[in-house]
Amino acid sequence: MLKVLKSGFYTTIQDGGRLGYLNKGVPVSGFMDSFSAEKLNLLLDNDTRAAVMEITMTGPTLEFEEETYICLGGADISVTLNNNPIKNYKVYKIEQGDILSYGRLKVGFRNYLAVKGGFQTAEILGSRSWYYPLTPKSHLKDRTEVDYLSCTSYDPKISEWQVDYFLDESVLEVARGPEFEFLSDRQLESLFSKEFTIAKDYNRMAYQIEQKIEGHKISMLTSATLPGTVQLTPSGKIIILMKDGQTTGGYPRLLQLSDKAISILAQKKYGDAISFKLI
Amino acid sequence: MSKYPLSIRPFGVHAILVEWPNEVQEAILDDIIQFTSYLESNCLIVNKWEIVPAYNSVTLVLREQPIDFDKLKQRLGQWYQESDSVAARQRYLWRLPVCYDIEFGIDINEVSEKLQLSVSELIQEHTSNVYTVYGIGFLPGFMYLGGVPSRLEIPRKSAPRLNVQKGSVGLASKQTGIYPQESPGGWNIIGNCPVSMFNPKNDEPCFVSVGDKVQFFGIEKATYDLHKIENEVGIYKLDKTEWDA
């Protein structure tokens, strides 16, 4: 068991996502920044979809009760293992009673803690990803426990990774969305020439953008939406759906973020700059 | 069977959108169900693809790899022409209990005044219609039900509530439906259904599918309480009949 001494701001368990229930209105969920999370699973020789801990902004303090191997990645946060600083994308051996403690957030927004074999929280509809109320918990609370398998010996093929870092990237590569053709020249001009900033309203469901563009009067029937779908409200507000985003919507879908762009955006927080680039 | 002109467009690299004419129509929905039945039985590997029908569209999602759009577009056009060769999947009419007591139907008096119907006329009207499931989304198990008669059309509330109770039955313009979980919402609440529309413990967490029909019937508070318990322990027997389009 992993004992949660302090839970942090918003810590959840996420895996490769809940597939197969979009037609029943169930979002995919899963790693917000799959780019980082999957790399950690590779370093630990886990299935790339194995469950990891997703740590948002202010991280937890955790005590390990069994031996294992861990690896951290994603946002750059100062983290200590028994008071010694540790690095992202490097495999560490964990002994019984070791304490992992998250400190100050430096760059990015979400850090991932992967453990050898993946976290073993309950699988619900084929996934361990937390999505309340489909799963009993929305996020980690103090003094709870999270199950993992013990591992006494593991010889990583690569013990440290020089990651092609993208935390400082702010350009989101996008494809045309289904309603792209409805955009006026003026809307197009603002979408692709402006720099935007993340508004206060941003979470695992959606990121809202601070600056508005010209609105519209398009009335469309409700239709499917995906993580990375960029919607435009009639008043001109831009909303980018993320992993816990609703599976259908009635706003025009202007753009669709690439997988990499979703990971880049997942590391942004209030006030950070982004721009769109059509591919 | 007359076929519709379809618009097939890319939706990012992992999805493709197939669109029928921009109208809410039973005939279009029937054609969509026919087409998706054919795709599921003859064309797509169902555990790799997700097929999401809603109103006048079907979105096909493939997560593992990028889609070859041009190739798939051409194939979809061909499959659409062949889709009558299989029987469409069986559709059902679900009859769902609703308690319209003021305890649950917190807006029922206001709605009755605005629509100039007595509360009993309102209940009579709401329960006599058979509604069509045009889509499932917004929340897990949330049905977009069409077929609301004009006598029951009422705009959504000007200020949405932060917490609408699970099971709440609402009315908003041309739609009615059930909130499958506690959630913020702006619909006018006229009752509550004790049957869970979504249960993650079941292999099939939501018994209703797009294309099915729903009809409500009124129940007393005592019956509501009983069904609520039956639902919680998993012995509530759903009223389900085959529906042939």
Report pLDDT digits (tens) over A114-157: 999 999 999 999 999 999 999 999 999 999 999 999 999 999 98
Neighboring chain A residues of B51 at a CB cutoff of 8 Å: 23
Domain match, A27 and A138 both: yes
In the predicted structure, residue B2 carries a pLDDT above the cut 60: no
In the predicted structure, residue B87 carries a pLDDT above the cut 60: yes
CB contact under 8 A, B55 and A222: yes
* Helix ranges (DSSP H) in chain A: 34-43, 185-193, 259-266
Domain match, A190 and A99 both: no
Neighboring chain B residues of A224 at a CB cutoff of 8 Å: 11, 15, 17, 52, 54, 57, 59, 61, 137
Domain match, A77 and A189 both: no
DSSP state of B12: S
| Residues A69, A72, A76: CA angle, nearest 5 degrees | 160
Domain match, A24 and A130 both: yes
> CA B160 → CA B139, B183, B187, distances in Å?
16, 10, 7
pLDDT mean across residues, chain A: 96
CB contact under 8 A, B13 and A22: no
- Distance CA(A195)–CA(B58), nearest Å, equals 34
Domain ranges of chain B: 7-85, 91-243
- Distance CA(B58)–CA(B51), nearest Å, equals 7
In the predicted structure, residue A25 carries a pLDDT above the cut 80: yes
CB contact under 8 A, A20 and B50: yes
In the predicted structure, residue B142 carries a pLDDT above the cut 80: yes
Residues making up chain A, counted from first to last: 279
Domain match, A61 and A188 both: no
Structurally, how many domains does chain A consist of?
A: 2
Q: Please name the fold of domain B7-85.
A: Gyrase A; domain 2 (3.30.1360)
Domain match, A142 and A177 both: no
Burial of A186 (0-12, 13-18, 19+ CB in 10 A): exposed
> Are the C-beta atoms of residues A59 and A278 closer than 8 Å to each other?
no
B47, B136, B181 member nearest A23 (Cβ) = B136
Q: Which two tokens stand for residue B124?
A: 């009579």
A258 alpha-carbon distance from chain centroid: 14
Estimate the crossing angle of helix B108-115 against helix B119-128, to 10 degrees.
Answer: 90
Neighboring chain A residues of B182 at a CB cutoff of 8 Å: 133
In the predicted structure, residue A41 carries a pLDDT above the cut 60: yes
> Are the C-beta atoms of residues B10 and B59 closer than 8 Å to each other?
no
Q: How confident is the model at residue B64 (pLDDT cuts 50, 70, 90)?
A: confident
Q: Is residue A185 part of a domain?
A: yes
> Are the C-beta atoms of residues A148 and A115 closer than 8 Å to each other?
yes
In the predicted structure, residue A189 carries a pLDDT above the cut 60: yes
Average confidence (pLDDT) over B157-161: 89
Residue A189: give its domain's CATH number.
2.40.100.10
Average confidence (pLDDT) over B77-100: 95
Instruction: Please report the ipTM that was assigned to this predicted complex.
Output: 0.94
Neighboring chain B residues of A228 at a CB cutoff of 8 Å: 12
Contacts of A198 (CB under 8 A, 6+ apart): A207, A208, A209, A210, A268, A269, A270, A271, A272, A274
Query: Could you say which residues from 26 to 85 on chain A have a Cβ atom under 8 Å away from some Cβ of chain B?
Result: 26-28
Rounded-to-5 percentages of helix, strand, coil across chain A: 10, 35, 50
pLDDT at residue A43 in the model: 96
pLDDT at residue B245 in the model: 73
In a mutational test of the B interface, the residue from A18, A21, A23 whose CB has the highest number of chain B CBs within 10 Å is A23
Domain match, A237 and A196 both: yes
pLDDT at residue A165 in the model: 72
What domain range is A108 assigned to? 2-146
> Are the C-beta atoms of residues B48 and A20 closer than 8 Å to each other?
no
> Are the C-beta atoms of residues B199 and B205 closer than 8 Å to each other?
yes
Domain match, A126 and A74 both: yes
Q: Is residue A261 part of a domain?
A: yes
> Are the C-beta atoms of residues A64 and A115 closer than 8 Å to each other?
no
In the predicted structure, residue A176 carries a pLDDT above the cut 70: yes
pTM score, two decimals? 0.95
Rounded-to-5 percentages of helix, strand, coil across chain B: 30, 30, 40
Residue A105: give its domain's CATH number.
2.60.120
- Distance CA(A42)–CA(A19), nearest Å, equals 21
pLDDT at residue A218 in the model: 86
Q: Is residue A251 part of a domain?
A: yes
Between the two ends of chain A, the Cα-to-Cα distance in Å is: 45
Residue whose pair of structure tokens reads 């469309």 in the numeric block? A220
Instruction: Check CB contact of A23 with chain B, cutoff 8 Å.
Output: yes
Contacts A–B by Cβ distance under 8 A: 116
Q: What is the DSSP string of B48-72?
A: TEEEEEETTEEEEEE-SS---HHHH
Instruction: Check CB contact of A223 with chain B, cutoff 8 Å.
Output: yes
Report pLDDT digits (tens) over B231-244: 999 999 999 999 98
Neighboring chain B residues of A176 at a CB cutoff of 8 Å: 10
* Percent over 90 (pLDDT), chain B: 90
A125, A133, A256 member nearest B12 (Cβ) = A256
Q: Is residue A69 part of a domain?
A: yes
Q: Please name the fold of domain B91-243.
A: Cyclophilin (2.40.100)
pLDDT at residue A82 in the model: 98
Residue whose pair of structure tokens reads 């019984």 in the numeric block? A96
3-state secondary structure B107-144: CHHHHHHHHCCCHHHHHHHHHHCCEEEEEECCCCCCEE
Exposure of B165 in the CB half-sphere (CA atoms within 13 A): 14
Q: What is the DSSP string of A170-186?
A: -EEEEEEPTTGGG--HH
Cβ neighbours of A234 (radius 10 Å): 12
